[in-house]
Structure 1
């Protein structure tokens, strides 16, 4: 069993049980919170609930005793995976109607889409948990504890602010102009103001910089908790996409924070596949921040269970679930043909099951169309199944931030004109990735080949199914436009451009009705 710090998190969850329903999205502080925060040790347990809100949907196994009343009843990361991947060239969904992902797949959603709504309320539930924690973790509230306990709680407080910043980053990236609420706002009938993308960007930026001194360095941080370098990586991601969010470029700032991460001593994992197996909690050399999933303590039918079980056919005579450490196959999705075409022969990252499968996707919900992705597994380093996936889901963590992404962010920022690094350095980082992929220098590229378009393709090769593709395509103005078409983009086999409004998801109709401060452009 992996060692994660929030193994006792459920002692804290009852104080948030009143947050249910689409309109009542902010949890109410009940009298029991005074008891919970009476003990310094309980702060860590409550902190665990903030982290685990990304990978579980409720208080009990597999999402039972749900935190929220939602359309699909799934956790944050299942929602996030669908919104970041379904509409891109990286995913062909099998159960368009059964899983209600047809509109996500074809880029035709509206403000009543169930997955869009569930993602929105999952984000704000996590923000609400953070706000509640911070209301009870101010200097006045913790003054009754010992100096050592207060020091620990200040670290927890910084981590809660990081988690909130991460959730706000997802809200900014997905929804752009959004309601804004912090621990300083009243609980209950308060109607949050609408913040523009620029305002949210500036808030996230200031929060991440402000908590720097209170976050632990990677070498002092328990597995599963956010260290300084996680905040630096999130800042780099914010700056990489700054022009989309604010209209202004921040390439140099992106380089600055990529360098902060790199100088902390991370190194690439030798075996790419081990970054996505059930022992990937051991890959802290490359993985900067992960969302732990545990088949005994954080059982989830979303997150990595969704990815791993979903990528094994339940209609193939060739693909065997046990090869991936899976007890049962779900057959939920494959990859569209354009992504496998990006890989050169010999690139070990091209981890696709092809037997009995066509590369092209003539019928999007036909399981024999499109390759299955073998990148993620529930196998240990020894090649054994880590858990019974029918009973407990998988045991594979989701690596949200890793060094390879930082290398590619720095390279892109350099070739787009940022200062603080150079093409030679950027090329070295990219070729490190390609040397791992090819097992030699056979895949090395030259400085002349290091263009923005090459880096976009390299990001797909390195990061496919890691929830970056939609954001990357939007940054390159390829998600909704005709400059890049893939099969079934816009609902037609050969692909077509769609309305640019689909670069942003709409705030759900339910929240527009509840809060007159909010509105959607174009929807």
Structure 2
């Protein structure tokens, strides 16, 4: 049975077991009964198993959601604002980006903070209570290892966004204002310890027998990410890059993972369980389960299908439908992303397979007024005719006039009209207004592991192995007959290539802000490539503001705000 199908029945337990944690409610001293299930239920074999399943659920509030996307893709070198939506302070790095209660950004950060700590406390309870539970030793070891993987994952996300946080490694059962901020060294040590202890007891296979559970390669991938982060930090050790490279090599060579032959297959909604997925957060079409997001996500589910779409649905010959999606116009690609990162479209298939460039008429009509294309005034469409085409380059007015459809050229791009990322589209939604998508979110996939390996090897001075690793990803991305042209030589291998290759391969996959932060390049690259954010971005933005709710629920003066907020 897939884990996605067994999360819903125990969500209540997951909430119940941590509601009294110091980080779990806005008013610290108000106890709220949310379930009739007794706390001792978790000490039973069934209750313990349910608790482990519930520990995964907090991932659904970060991955595949608008809040999670907001703090990982907004305000980077590859994405700028679309026409609509809240949380634009994360794009502009202006006064909207504060931690205060009642502000959009502050409430988003507070909700994510609370939900990640709910996950932490559920993991703490699992780890502490395991010795009291009557299950086989093998099962208990695996379940505790899953909890340690998840606890490390939650703290990794908290640490990257906020810096040192309250490092709680025991179950919180009653309200407390006794909190403090851990140092970076303490955070790294705790995360690495959890993952190192988890790895030997997780299933040593590409996919768990119970699909969706954490596996040994998933934990190894996360540990590699942690070592990469640490390697650029003040806590760096001489062997951090080497350790990251060893872990990535193990994931690539010790299991049955395989890069798919076609980049487009990776994000095919009908191919979600494939040989490239190392770890996925699972979603479902069950509406009750989809409504379990607690962070301001757009009505639950994997809703990234909403956030990258352009305003196609008011153009002549078009109307909104399930296939082309509901366009919330939250993010649009920067000029740097389109023109530099995706400059090679002759050999590299990823521009074509990343962005939608053609819309076929689903609202036919005659003598329709053209909108954005000034090369024509009237249009006529039969059902299925091309209505909109985005060539990706400038075309003269005379050349556009020869087409029977509207041509959107780069000079006409704006916050409502732009190339649309296709990775997350969900055509299985029941109607055209339905927001909660059911697609899994791929947290770790093999191409990312190859690119991490290339980075770690490059930074270790092993140019030959770095070149081999990045070429594996580039070769797959080539058009048929052009794959050899995608291969680079050792002389061409450099860090800028790593930066651009991760953008080409992983765009929109909730990694870019974390990459720029890890490299210490956030401010530099935003200033260079994101004109909207350039005037305001500063060094303080390598960390988010601590939610005011956390500061207020701590002993006065005990939990300091991050500098500059």
TM-score band w.r.t. shorter chain = 0.7 to 0.9
Question: Among residues 465, 478, 486, which one is paired with 2:529 in the alignment?
Answer: 486
**TM-score normalised by structure 1 residue count:** 0.83
2:360 alignment partner in structure 1: none
**TM-score normalised by structure 2 residue count:** 0.77
1:191 alignment partner in structure 2: 178
User: C-alpha distance in 1, partners of 2:545/2:457?
Assistant: 33
Instruction: Note the 1:262-341 alignment, pairs <5 A.
Output: 262-265=252-255, 266-283=257-274, 285-296=275-286, 298-299=289-290, 301=298, 305-316=302-313, 317=315, 325=323, 328-341=326-339
2:467 alignment partner in structure 1: 427
Deviation by residue 1:480-522 (Cα, 9 ceiling, x = unmatched):
13685123342xxxx4473211111111223223223211223
- The structural deviation recorded for 1:220 is 4.3
Deviation by residue 1:46-70 (Cα, 9 ceiling, x = unmatched):
22222122225xxxxxxxxxxxxxx
RMSD: 3.2
1:396 aligns with 2:439: yes
User: Number of residues paired by the alignment?
Assistant: 484
Distance 1:75 1:479, change over 3 A: closer
Question: Among residues 70, 74, 78, which one is paired with 1:90 in the alignment?
Answer: 78
Distance 1:390 1:210, change over 3 A: same
1:378 aligns with 2:426: yes
Task: Check the 8 A contact 2:310/2:328 in 1, yes or no.
Answer: yes
- Provide the secondary structure at the position in 1 that maps to 2:280: strand
- The structural deviation recorded for 1:6 is 4.2
Task: Check the 8 A contact 1:76/1:122 in 2, yes or no.
Answer: no
1:22 aligns with 2:26: yes
Question: Among residues 127, 137, 142, which one is paired with 2:117 in the alignment?
Answer: 127
Question: Among residues 394, 406, 423, which one is paired with 2:449 in the alignment?
Answer: 406
Question: Among residues 61, 80, 84, which one is paired with 2:68 in the alignment?
Answer: 80
1:7 aligns with 2:6: yes
2:355 alignment partner in structure 1: 352
- Provide the secondary structure at the position in 2 that maps to 1:401: strand
2:559 alignment partner in structure 1: 518
Distance 1:161 1:95, change over 3 A: farther
Task: Check the 8 A contact 2:116/2:154 in 1, yes or no.
Answer: yes
- Provide the secondary structure at the position in 1 that maps to 2:523: coil
User: C-alpha distance in 2, partners of 1:55/1:429?
Assistant: 31
- The structural deviation recorded for 1:205 is 0.7
Task: Check the 8 A contact 2:281/2:441 in 1, yes or no.
Answer: yes
Distance 1:402 1:357, change over 3 A: same
Distance 1:255 1:77, change over 3 A: same
- Provide the secondary structure at the position in 2 that maps to 1:481: helix
User: C-alpha distance in 2, partners of 1:321/1:278?
Assistant: 23
- Provide the secondary structure at the position in 2 that maps to 1:475: helix
The answer to which of 349-358 and 228-237 deviates more is 349-358
Task: Check the 8 A contact 1:235/1:254 in 2, yes or no.
Answer: yes
Task: Check the 8 A contact 2:356/2:421 in 1, yes or no.
Answer: yes
2:153 alignment partner in structure 1: 166
1:63 alignment partner in structure 2: none
User: C-alpha distance in 1, partners of 2:540/2:63?
Assistant: 26
1:107 alignment partner in structure 2: 93
Question: Among residues 213, 229, 238, which one is paired with 1:225 in the alignment?
Answer: 213
Distance 1:512 1:483, change over 3 A: closer
- Provide the secondary structure at the position in 2 that maps to 1:511: helix
Distance 1:36 1:307, change over 3 A: same
2:537 alignment partner in structure 1: 498
1:36 aligns with 2:41: yes
User: C-alpha distance in 2, partners of 1:75/1:456?
Assistant: 22
The answer to which of 318-327 and 348-357 deviates more is 318-327
The answer to which of 160-169 and 4-13 deviates more is 4-13
User: C-alpha distance in 2, partners of 1:44/1:31?
Assistant: 18
User: C-alpha distance in 2, partners of 1:324/1:119?
Assistant: 31
Task: Check the 8 A contact 1:134/1:157 in 2, yes or no.
Answer: no
Distance 1:304 1:269, change over 3 A: farther
Task: Check the 8 A contact 1:286/1:402 in 2, yes or no.
Answer: yes
Distance 1:270 1:499, change over 3 A: same
1:438 aligns with 2:471: no
- Provide the secondary structure at the position in 2 that maps to 1:179: coil
- The structural deviation recorded for 1:126 is 3.2
- The structural deviation recorded for 1:425 is 2.7
User: C-alpha distance in 1, partners of 2:551/2:422?
Assistant: 41
User: C-alpha distance in 2, partners of 1:483/1:21?
Assistant: 35
Distance 1:395 1:121, change over 3 A: closer
Instruction: Note the 1:189-268 alignment, pairs <5 A.
Output: 189-218=176-205, 219-249=207-237, 250-265=240-255, 266-268=257-259
**Structure 2: gaps of 5 or more residues:** 292-297, 358-389, 391-406
- Provide the secondary structure at the position in 1 that maps to 2:201: coil
